[in-house]
Amino acid sequence: MKKTAILSFLFVAALAFAQGIKFEEGSNFKTILAKAKKENKLVFIDAYAVWCGPCKLMVKNIFPLKPVGDYYNEHFVNAKIDMEKGEGIELAKKYNVKVFPTYLFINGDGEEVHRTIGYVEEKDFIQFAMDAGDPNKRLTALKQKFEKGEKDPEFLLNLANLTIYNDADFSNKVIERYFAAKPEFNQNNLGLLFQAMKSTEGAPYKIFTERKADITKLVPEQQYATIDKNVKINAVMAKAYNTDTKKWDDAYFLSESQKFLTKDESEKILKRAKANRALKDKDIATYEKMTLELNQDTSALNADQLNSLAWNFFENVTTKSSLETAVKWAQESVNKKESYANTDTLANLYNKIGDKKNAKIWAQKSVELGKAAGEDTADTEKLLKSL
């Protein structure tokens, strides 16, 4: 009885001192909307993906804070939804979620009124919530203000950043108006322009070409040329792949891309794009085969690129010989620049091929590096305990 009483007290005490955002557990989206409507609140959605680093940092650093929890719990019905699982897949389509984390503010009728993205510090995270609650500061109101002709540079920059990932056509109009005033380039507005250039068509690319002389005062000519080439590749790629039929027009891509690429470059880029698409479509056999062909020589890849290759194989590939190749990629990554991430990859790969001894060695090393760097090592520690 005493033990039960003590445990009960500790449980109650933990609840009493709980801080941070309280998220709805086990409720579907329809139920969450109904609750919001009944309570006359907005829904706050943390639209995340399990692999997203900034998403994990928000969970660790921001969501648990008492001031954040106090404001969000009072004003919103809060929900965390994985956009790559269950009903999250359809919600991602409905609300055009393309980057993670995305924070959505939805009314009880399911209409989006405000949004922002990325890792956000405490003060700004609360301010975004306050803006969502103010009809004059919501994204919908900002768009209306733009349509009425607002030309304030700071306003335009903010609006372009808020819409660049979910409403590119609108964002491009904002960017066009902003740059029409011929502002001087700096790291912020130049970064925005680069993010907006998805194609050789539209205002962002036109600005990029017309103001080359100004841009190359901030970035070297070689970097400018590389950015230009990548935009052209993306433009040709978009027309070469049919998203409805999932078919590639190889002839079109090769002929158009060779207007600014060598034949060898064009063929390799196409093969890499096909491999990436195969991974996205879960055609693992094709992804595995093409990736091995493309990476017979990895000497030019940096540590992060090698680690990404190795981790993708760990997550998706089951062929032992291919996994052994991935171990070599991970080892090469560690040799080039040892980090928590690549030592963790190496440990996981060794475990997957059945080499428990080396898996334990590298898991221990990974935990040490992770703790020294302030990383969340929980998953690696879990692996280590299983060995």
Return the active site residues: 52, 55
Angle between helices 221-240 and 250-257 (to 10 degrees): 160
By C-alpha distance, which of 107, 230, 114, 108 is closest to 162?
114
CB-based burial of residue 184 (10 Å sphere; 0-12 exposed, 13-18 middle, 19+ buried)? Answer: exposed
CB atoms within 10 A of CB 384: 18
Tokens (6 digits) for 240: 């070469």
- Only one residue has tokens 């409720």, namely 27
Structure tokens at 78: 């809060």
Which of 177, 203, 206, 179 shows the shortest CA–CA distance to 190? Answer: 179
From residue 13, alpha-carbon distances to 6, 7, 69, 245, 299 in Å are 10, 10, 18, 57, 56
Q: Pick from 122, 116, 180, 113: which is nearest to 143 by CA?
A: 113
